[in-house]
Structure 1
């Protein structure tokens, strides 16, 4: 009888373990991040009542997957043993797979880049790629130590917000023939920039101890976690106030939901939170923003 009664429990345990492995793979391989980048780009297209072209969606997804995974396998990531989280442990155990995934994503992104004729924007897209790569690769030797862009004081959050806003707002604008200096494009860029900036502060809070040990001077490390949260909430307020013309009150209410959810994520952010808090909630709220725009349109 005991063997029979143990079977359902064993089945549930096996299912839970398998599910967690799949969730870990999706989150820690940056697949959700790539989905989020694609969704935010799609949301910008939807503002102009156009769906994102399939191959462009594939390009954004693959390029994001490459950049985040190539960053995750860099040697410096594995020298920070003092803050070995479950996420970091998973990445260490799957380092070869992440590197292979990055190479496949790079090949796909390169193919789609050439097929869709983006070569005339090589300089524009190139500077975004350069910032993304040099974010973690050494660019200057300071006091006998090579530093990446992320190591310069207070710079990393602005780099993240700029690249994400440029990719998810300016790329759709260029695809549709919009001028980057057009007021509506600048407004959408600002709204997206401050939204991503708020989320970047959340990840700085997650990396508070790691950044202090590695010598990276971030807002939480210099001014404290409470000050970083206050700045993140201020960024969300600015994002919420940048309202495109013609938005009805009901639609505005729906579009405010992701900002409110992000505010809650900021408010309760702490480096002691589980990895899923950041990898699932903080990244997932970007998909929620897309869903809000999709509902409005």
Structure 2
């Protein structure tokens, strides 16, 4: 029963939606934003539910064993329901934010375009041919929704844009490194489907350089933020980089969906979780 409930949280995309909320919360805390928290959190949560269920509904079965794909095959109606509920929830919480329609529209379009190549229509199939786009695009969407967009729609008159830029670059390259692990696992299937990306083109030594180079850039941005951050927040940002650095070999040798969709996806919000626990324990 516990396994069934865990699978539901993980594969219905509730888990990844909670990861997104943690990341938004951390961005709000670090940048000191006056964000319309209730509406924006609701918008992000339901948008994530909608987009991920839409993406997985369009994802065909794999020749390799995948707990997530097998779970989805048995629950196609549930995936459609998740997509519809997510869409309605995103609309409900997005309406009060419509005066920020331009940056919000950017988030919606970017999110749709990531899954668009899976839509069974010739209009979208050409997107599979875009070189290097898949991994960079996904990392950018996550950075935009959880970091840059809160800044764009909040009362941020007193926020230093240079610090915002550093946090955005930190987040982008941390997420990009995690995305590299996903694409490395799936690159044979991507090649078979004609999906082009930088990861499907690079040899292992160059891929390693890209992975570790991304994490070095991420760590450098965290260190550049040091003068404006409490020490424990800086520690949490660097701890996330260190853990992602350390898990590469493990992730490349363990292809379980639980490793990728629970552990690796969760690492995007690892620093936020440390930050939240620190706050709950009475930290400033």
User: Shorter-chain TM-score: what band?
Assistant: 0.7 to 0.9
With over 3 angstroms needed to count, the CA separation of the structure-2 counterparts of 1:51 and 1:93, relative to structure 1, is: farther
**TM-score, length basis structure 2:** 0.86
Segments of 4+ moved more than 4 angstroms: 49-52, 138-141, 248-251
- Residue matched to 2:39: 55
Alpha-carbon distance between aligned partners in 2 of 1:123 and 1:201, rounded to the nearest angstrom: 30
- Residue matched to 1:292: 274
Structure with the largest fraction of helix: 2
Q: How does 1:186-205 map to 2 (within 5 A)?
A: 186-205=165-184
Contact 1:208 1:271 in 2 (8 A): no
Q: What root-mean-square deviation, in Å, do the aligned CA atoms of Structure 1 and Structure 2 show?
A: 2.7
Among 133, 143, 148, the alignment partner of 1:155 is: 133
Return the offset for 1:108. Answer: 0.9
**What is the aligned residue count?**
273
Among 236, 248, 261, the alignment partner of 1:266 is: 248
**TM-score, length basis structure 1:** 0.82
Segments of 5+ residues of structure 1 without an aligned counterpart are: 1-17
Return the offset for 1:101. Answer: 1.1
The reply on whether 1:224 has 2:203 as its aligned counterpart is: yes
Alpha-carbon distance between aligned partners in 2 of 1:127 and 1:219, rounded to the nearest angstrom: 24
- Residue matched to 1:33: 16
Which range moves more in the overlay, 192-201 or 212-221? 212-221
Q: Render the CA deviation track for 1:121-166: whole Å, top value 9, x for unaligned.
A: 222221221121122224999xx89526454221111111111111
Alpha-carbon distance between aligned partners in 2 of 1:24 and 1:227, rounded to the nearest angstrom: 35
- Residue matched to 1:108: 89
- Residue matched to 2:194: 215
With over 3 angstroms needed to count, the CA separation of the structure-2 counterparts of 1:151 and 1:64, relative to structure 1, is: farther
Question: What SS does the aligned partner of 2:131 have?
Answer: coil
The reply on whether 1:276 has 2:258 as its aligned counterpart is: yes
Alpha-carbon distance between aligned partners in 2 of 1:282 and 1:232, rounded to the nearest angstrom: 14
Question: What SS does the aligned partner of 1:83 have?
Answer: coil
Contact 1:135 1:148 in 2 (8 A): no
The reply on whether 1:183 has 2:162 as its aligned counterpart is: yes
With over 3 angstroms needed to count, the CA separation of the structure-2 counterparts of 1:150 and 1:252, relative to structure 1, is: farther
Report which of the two structures shows the higher radius of gyration computed on alpha carbons: 1
Contact 1:194 1:236 in 2 (8 A): yes
Segments of 5+ residues of structure 2 without an aligned counterpart are: none
Question: What SS does the aligned partner of 2:247 have?
Answer: helix
Q: Render the CA deviation track for 1:54-103: whole Å, top value 9, x for unaligned.
A: 332121111111111111111xx22x542342221111111110110110
Contact 1:204 1:219 in 2 (8 A): no
Q: How does 1:86-165 map to 2 (within 5 A)?
A: 86-114=67-95, 116=96, 118-138=97-117, 146-147=124-125, 149=127, 151-165=129-143
- Residue matched to 1:238: 217
Question: What SS does the aligned partner of 1:47 have?
Answer: helix
Contact 2:100 2:153 in 1 (8 A): no
Return the offset for 1:287. Answer: 2.8
Alpha-carbon distance between aligned partners in 2 of 1:275 and 1:85, rounded to the nearest angstrom: 6
Return the offset for 1:109. Answer: 0.9
Contact 1:69 1:102 in 2 (8 A): yes
Alpha-carbon distance between aligned partners in 2 of 1:51 and 1:226, rounded to the nearest angstrom: 44
